[in-house]
Amino acid sequence: MKLSIEKKDYSKVKSEAVVLGVFEKFSFPKEPFCKTIEEEAKKARFDGNVGESFFLKGTHFDGKVVLVLGLGKEDEYSIEKIRVALSNAVRKLKERFIESAVFAIHPEKSKDDFKETISTIAEVIVLTNRKFDRYITDRKKLFFGLNEAIIVIKELNKKAEEGIKKGKTLSEAVVFARDLITLPSNEVTPTYLAQEAMSIAKAYNFKAKILNEKECKKLGMNAFLTVAQGSKNQPKFIHLTYQNENAKKSIGIIGKGLTFDSGGISLKPAQGMGAMKSDMSGAAAVLATMKAIGELKPEVNVEMIIAACENMPSGKAYRPGDIIYTMSGKSIEVQNTDAEGRLTLADAITYTQKQKVDEIIDLATLTGACMIALGPDIAGIMGNDQNLINSLISISKKTGDSLWQLPLEEGYFRFIKSPIADICNNSSVRWGGAITAGLFLKFFVEKKIKWAHIDIAGPAYRDDDLNENHKAEGAGFGVRLLVNYLLGQKKV
């Protein structure tokens, strides 16, 4: 898509359509046709609430279609409102098979930073417009949405230019993550993820290590390898390093990388198992983050880690009742082979700590329990440093990656104690599964390391359309969250 910003009268920009943003209480722009808008708005029961919209009858401005879009209260206009309203507008344009549009939605009136507002507008337009269609063979029946979008603003300035660049970069990164998640597991194997990582490393001159099974065994990554041993697809431990000469901090980002999770011997129900191709959504997010920071160059060092494998049932698969030793030397009693992600993450955390990082953030589709607690749109966050958690939650309100803090209740550790090993990978009770999974991971985190765990089981893969996300696709959840957090480290 061609995406640009212009200082121009929206009525004079060449396009098929105009998206005209208005605020509540009929605060329409002072134009000759405003009376017509007000009359049609009343018929459409349109009050200017966030996301409400209607098409004006006929065409205007030399044959343009006009979509009137509600932006809510002017004094509450923000990035959050823009995300909801604008995604609705792009969907409406696609329903009309419109290929070019100008967006007059008053970014200068946002209460948020102008650069971030422009970035958000760019992200929403690109991501709502773009739909995964790789496997549709009848291309003639497909409509690919907008091929040109122009954002009109009052003044062209450096912030506007930086905002459009950031928005393009972030949206491209999120699309990359979404595609990785949506692609099927017969294509996206651990080797495929490793190849994608190497391509990113070469493109941005990152240091890269791809450890094979033999190398992982030498390092003592028995928990990771145990999960992988049931599959014919070989595991890959992926490590990318980004370094900035002005960095004062080193941050580890870990993504859960189960390219398919059958549950292993503790086999999942058949219904819904196909969606388990998305069990590498954390890996997709951190890979996409590296792609974005290669362009945006934050002033921080980053160690990206993915323990990529499949969890499959076979004669070689691990069993309930097995006891394994981790890279840390601690032992785990396995009681459920479908609680596999925490095993791979245990070794990933230990390895990351050896890279002398100051902080670790992990993203994982870890528990159905988190989805039961928070639903399909919100990820759970927990950790050992409240300032880190607060910072991520604050950023999430701007990026659309909704977070809610869950408590790491130390008393619940009794539910994952093992009578014959250091810890058990499955809780002895049904309740609080997201918290006990978090406590399991914390068991492997050194006290000196600031750590946040984000359980993205709910929002990682969409069952419905939501804002700029599409049904039956990966969401790319966490990419913008991580990138913005890393960019913020230049202030440290």
Active site residues: 268, 342
Neighbours of 232 (CB within 10 A): 9
Do 167 and 151 contact (CB within 8 A), yes or no? no
Determine the Cα–Cα distance for residues 113 and 344; give it in Å rounded to an integer: 39
Determine the Cα–Cα distance for residues 5 and 21; give it in Å rounded to an integer: 16
Neighbours of 191 (CB within 10 A): 16
Determine the Cα–Cα distance for residues 442 and 447; give it in Å rounded to an integer: 9
Nearest of 103, 173, 153, 73 to residue 399 by alpha carbon: 173
Neighbours of 275 (CB within 10 A): 17
Residue position matching structure tokens 């291309």: 139
Phi and psi at residue 150, to the nearest 5°: -120, 125
Neighbours of 439 (CB within 10 A): 24
Nearest of 129, 57, 120 to residue 89 by alpha carbon: 129
Structure tokens at 63: 């044959």
Which residues sit opposite 454 in a β-bridge?
363, 381
Nearest of 129, 231, 117 to residue 163 by alpha carbon: 117
Residue position matching structure tokens 């329990």: 369
Do 357 and 448 contact (CB within 8 A), yes or no? no
Is residue 404 classed exposed, middle or buried when 0-12, 13-18 and 19+ CB atoms within 10 A define those classes? middle
DSSP structure string for 10-72? GGGS-SSEEEEEEBTTTB--S-TTHHHHHHHHHHTT----TT-EEEPSS-BTTTBEEEEEE--
CA atoms within 13 A on the CB side of 392: 29
